[in-house]
Amino acid sequence: MKNKIQILEKQIAECNQCSEKSNNSILFGRSLSERLTDNIDVLFLGMAPKPETYDNRIERIIFGPYSPTGKKIARIIEEFNSFAPNMACWGTNCVKCNIVEEGILDAMAKCRKYLIDEIKMLNPKRIILLGKNVTERFLGDKFIAGQITIWENIPCLHYYHPMERTGRFGKNKELLFEFLGFNKK
């Protein structure tokens, strides 16, 4: 699988569809757990890298430890591991490059092919869609917040983005645990 990932990453790096790129570097998805297998248990899908989070960083990784979103997702995965220690998690974004914020929605459409290729390559058992914008762009109007929607035979859950000001990300974990089949007691 590593070779397939490298090929897709190279294709994304060579993409020139967005003239508004803030720089030429991309942020491809990455394993968020100890193991990378041919079958990912959970794929976390965010919208786009925020240039201010990654600018001037030597290590530029999606949902990285310096990112507020990355820190919150790491805590959730830690909790997952108490129920399923070998769970394979992957994090990725709809937009694969650092792009100025005004161009994000357009870039989401341009990057969709790469996202779909990435998802099909990883074959996740479940997808957690982080935030309303991601869910709407990924599923269209086929979703109801808090309910499971099936996309290409993969259960998807619209969930709160970790950086929503409402603070709901950590408060409704029962929904996540139920979606993942954990009996949290």
pLDDT of residue 169: 54
Query: What is the reported pLDDT for 105?
Result: 82
C-alpha span between 127 and 149 (Å, rounded): 10
| Domain that residue 108 falls in | 2-179
Whole-number pLDDT of residue 126: 95
CA dist list (Å): 103 to 1, 44, 106, 164:
31, 22, 6, 21
Identify the helix (H) or strand (E) that includes residue 22. strand 21-26
Facing residues of 92 across strands?
A: 45
What was the pLDDT predicted at 33?
A: 74
Q: Residue 145: CB partners within 8 Å, gap ≥ 6?
A: 132, 135, 158
Q: In this predicted model, which residue has the larger pLDDT, 172 or 155?
A: 155
Top-confidence range, 51-55, 63-67, 102-106, 125-129: 125-129
Determine the residue type at 105.
L
Q: What percentage of the chain reaches a pLDDT higher than 70? A: 75
| Whether pLDDT at 166 is above 60 | no
Burial class of residue 162, CB neighbours in 10 A (0-12, 13-18, 19+): buried
Q: Is residue 173 in some structural domain? A: yes
pLDDT at 32: 79
The average pLDDT across 170-176 equals: 71
Residue 53 lies in a domain: yes
pLDDT above 90 (res 153): yes
Pairwise CA distance, residues 104 & 94, whole Å: 9
110 lies in a domain? yes
Residue 185 lies in a domain: no
Higher-pLDDT residue of 33 and 8 is 8
Structural domain count, the chain = 1
Give the burial class of 133: count Cβ atoms within 10 A of its Cβ; 0-12 exposed, 13-18 middle, 19 or more buried. Answer: middle
- 134 is a domain residue: yes
What is the secondary structure of 115-162 as a DSSP string?
HHHHHHHH--SEEEEESHHHHHHHHTT---TTSEEEETTEEEEEE--T
Provide the pLDDT for residue 51. Answer: 59
User: What average pLDDT score do residues 70-99 get?
Assistant: 83
CA 163 to chain centre: 14
Ramachandran angles phi, psi of 129, nearest 5°: -90, 120
CATH code: domain of residue 156 = 3.40.470.10
